[in-house]
Amino acid sequence: MVVKQSHRRDESADDDSPRFNILLICIDDLRADRLSLVGNERATCPNLARRRADATLFHNCHSPVGWTLPACASIITGLQPEDHGLVHHQHRFRALKLGHYLGSGYHRVALTNNGNLVPDHIEQSVLDRLGHERKPDKWRRFGWDAGFDDYRWWSREHERVPFEQAASFLRENGERPSRPWLLFLHANIVHDYHMGRSCYLDAPWAGAAIDPALQEVVDGPELWCDLPAGVNRDEARDQLLKKYDAGILAMDRLLENVLAEVDFETTLVVLTSDHGEGFEPELGRVHHCGRLHNDLTHVPLLVWLPSRLRQVIQPPADEYRACSTLDIAPTLLQLSGQTGVDLPGHFLFGLPNHRELHGCDLGYLFWDQGLERESYDDSDIEIRSRTLYPLKTIQVRRGHERREYAYHLAYDPGERHDLVTQSAATLAPVTFIVAINDYEELRWNLLASPVAADDRHQWLLIDNRDNALADGIADLYNDALDRADNELVFFVHQDVYLPLGWEARVATALQVLAETDPNWGVIGAVGMGPAADGQDVIYGHWSDPHGYHRQGPLPCRVRTLDELWLGISKNRGLAFDPALPGFHCYGVDLCLTAETMGLNNYAIDAFLWHKYRGRDGNLIARPDDCNKLRARWTDGFMAAFSPSADYVAGKWHHEKPFSSTCWQW
């Protein structure tokens, strides 16, 4: 679901204040994880690393598509490919660009050198001389010139020229330009690592010379289908990655010459990429286009704000919440005081804790793990992805054939294990016990979980709306426990979502416990246990409206567990205290009871989502989206909570201090 936002003038600006210049830099084909400031052990960007201290680094930024034409169009319009129109080479822009919204009050300049960004004023004869193969309707006029006062394009053979021209522009439009400017700089130097330029061959980490057969290779997946004689896939990957990383180093040096000319007090500076690059032929993931895996969609994003804005916004140095390249345009518009523009993106300095990111490729397709890529010329194709970190699905269609894949990015960041088809440890039949006071909440959360469709399990759904059956949880749970058919009994909140793969994770954790502590007492997703300093801290792996959390190591012995999910083995003899009043603190009581029986409690690594969707089916992106959280700790809530907490305090006074995830005794 896409929610539109209205972008208004930032409160830090007023009508009489000068508008900021904008430098928007797009480095084509730049994977986020190949930057040394993100984690690459090779020093691919020493200059950016030095400048990074003054910027915000967005660690979880994604492009909606994995190739240049639609991806760059999304950056410059703030729209999904289907909305801006450039889904492949047979279309033109049908949407306004950033420059249109800024208007003629800005001097709008573009400097580019990729074939997908050819402006309309370049004659076809020029493209023919440059060797651009004329495929059906390819290189037709896309409409890139519109929205710019000055649009300059060079072929990729002129890899240094866009940087040199950008530095020259900045020198000429220094401290007091006649009007603010937008400079869109797009550079192809990382993309062109397949070429035989010295900048790709002479990097410090190259070691022995790059194999002559790999110094100049075809640009595309065809290389991997027919490797040069005497070169295997591992050797090709190693050497081509060295060239690719060398291209990043060359970019870093050229870009520093540009950034050295920037007045950061008057200029908004954004550095990003349109897409990444694939180097995994064994998985069918090479080059780009035709896929929506993270090696193509995860791109770098750094934003430098003038000090005047930093004082108001107080941006973080690191931002880990999910964002998109679609957020760049609305953020720049808001920071430059543009009003009345509706775009689907979010303001980068006010991101929600949770967000669905959608991807779409209608131009190209790798159908399976083969290395042959199909295009819109040949097939009716479609790829769509949906990412709600850490959960991701990809749907692929070729004609009437369809395939679906699912990944858990926290466990499998490389997207190697498809949860739809993987064989994994099988969880023994479970009795799920759920006390219900809101069926809509149950529908959009627990019953939406894949495990709910597994008929091996027993589900005991207790309708206690308006407390019709009981005014306390203990009697409800104990009665259901007596009716449980299975040895494993899980007590689960109605507002918990158990994602695909959850059963396998629980089964694996139980196998570990069977070897290390077969007489465990209570298991759950989130618990309180001692840290090295003796203080209780939270352990677990979950999402809730406050964000994504992974606190380990897991499994971890804990003293108490959160009640969102509690698991027991029926033969242990554990039960809930019928004297406990109300619907709170029963997890603490159960865990302390297990302790007195000589049983240990564990938080295990089986990711789940607490308060995933609201009663309307919409994602709960922030705590304020949830009525129950807004009512937490109010007088009404405390009137219900205090009797339970006071009972536990009296019953277990000799065990103090102890704590739950939300209270301390």
Over the stretch 46-100, which tens digit does the pLDDT of each residue have?
Answer: 999 999 999 999 999 999 999 999 999 999 999 999 999 999 988 999 999 999 9
Q: What integer pLDDT is reported at residue 11 of this predicted model?
A: 35
pTM of this prediction exceeds 0.75: yes
Residue 588 · residue 391 · CB < 8 Å: no
Of 214-223, 260-269, 409-418, 540-549, least confident by mean pLDDT is: 214-223
Angle among Cα 492, 495, 501 to the nearest 5 degrees reads 65
What CATH number is given for 430-655 in this structure? 3.90.550.10
Q: What integer pLDDT is reported at residue 139 of this predicted model?
A: 57
Question: Strands 341-343, 536-544: parallel, antiparallel or unpaired by DSSP?
Answer: unpaired
H/E run at residue 638: helix 635-651
What is the DSSP secondary-structure string of 362-417? Answer: SSEE--SSSSPPEETTT--EEEEEEEETTEEEEEEEETTEEEEEEEETTT-TT--S
% of the chain with per-residue pLDDT over 90 = 83
Kindly report, residue by residue over 489-500, the tens digit of the pLDDT. Answer: 999 999 999 999
Q: What integer pLDDT is reported at residue 549 of this predicted model?
A: 97
User: What is the mean pLDDT of the segment spanning 329-356?
Assistant: 94
How many other C-beta atoms can be found within 10 angstroms of the C-beta atom of residue 6?
A: 11
Kindly report, residue by residue over 504-532, the tens digit of the pLDDT. Answer: 999 999 999 999 999 999 999 999 998 77
Q: Is the pLDDT of residue 132 over 70?
A: no
Q: What integer pLDDT is reported at residue 6 of this predicted model?
A: 36
- List all residues 6 or more positions away from 47 whose beta carbon is below 8 Å from its beta carbon: 252, 253, 255, 256, 259
User: What is the mean pLDDT of the segment spanning 111-140?
Assistant: 76
User: What is the mean pLDDT of the segment spanning 129-141?
Assistant: 62
Tell me the residue type at 516: T
- List all residues 6 or more positions away from 445 whose beta carbon is below 8 Å from its beta carbon: 494, 495, 496, 497, 609, 611, 612, 613
What CATH number is given for 5-14+29-349 in this structure? 3.40.720.10
Angle among Cα 411, 67, 182 to the nearest 5 degrees reads 110
Residue 518 · residue 569 · CB < 8 Å: no
Q: What integer pLDDT is reported at residue 13 of this predicted model?
A: 35
318 by Cβ neighbours in 10 Å (0-12 / 13-18 / 19+) ranks as: exposed
User: What is the mean pLDDT of the segment spanning 319-324?
Assistant: 97
Kindly report, residue by residue over 602-633, the tens digit of the pLDDT. Answer: 999 999 999 999 999 999 999 999 988 998 89
Of 161-170, 245-254, 297-306, 331-340, least confident by mean pLDDT is: 331-340
Distances (CA, A) of 169 to 153, 173, 307, 495: 15, 6, 23, 56
Residues 207, 158: Cα–Cα separation, whole Å? 27
Domain locations in the chain as residue ranges: 5-14+29-349, 430-655
User: What is the mean pLDDT of the segment spanning 434-458?
Assistant: 96
H/E run at residue 168: helix 161-172
Residues 638, 511: Cα–Cα separation, whole Å? 40
How many other C-beta atoms can be found within 10 angstroms of the C-beta atom of residue 633?
A: 11
Sign of dihedral through CA atoms 188, 191, 195, 196?
Answer: positive
- Among 531, 527, 498, 646, smallest CA distance to 587 is for 527
Tell me the residue type at 484: A
Tell me the residue type at 174: G
Question: Strands 341-343, 318-319: parallel, antiparallel or unpaired by DSSP?
Answer: unpaired
Q: What integer pLDDT is reported at residue 501 of this predicted model?
A: 95
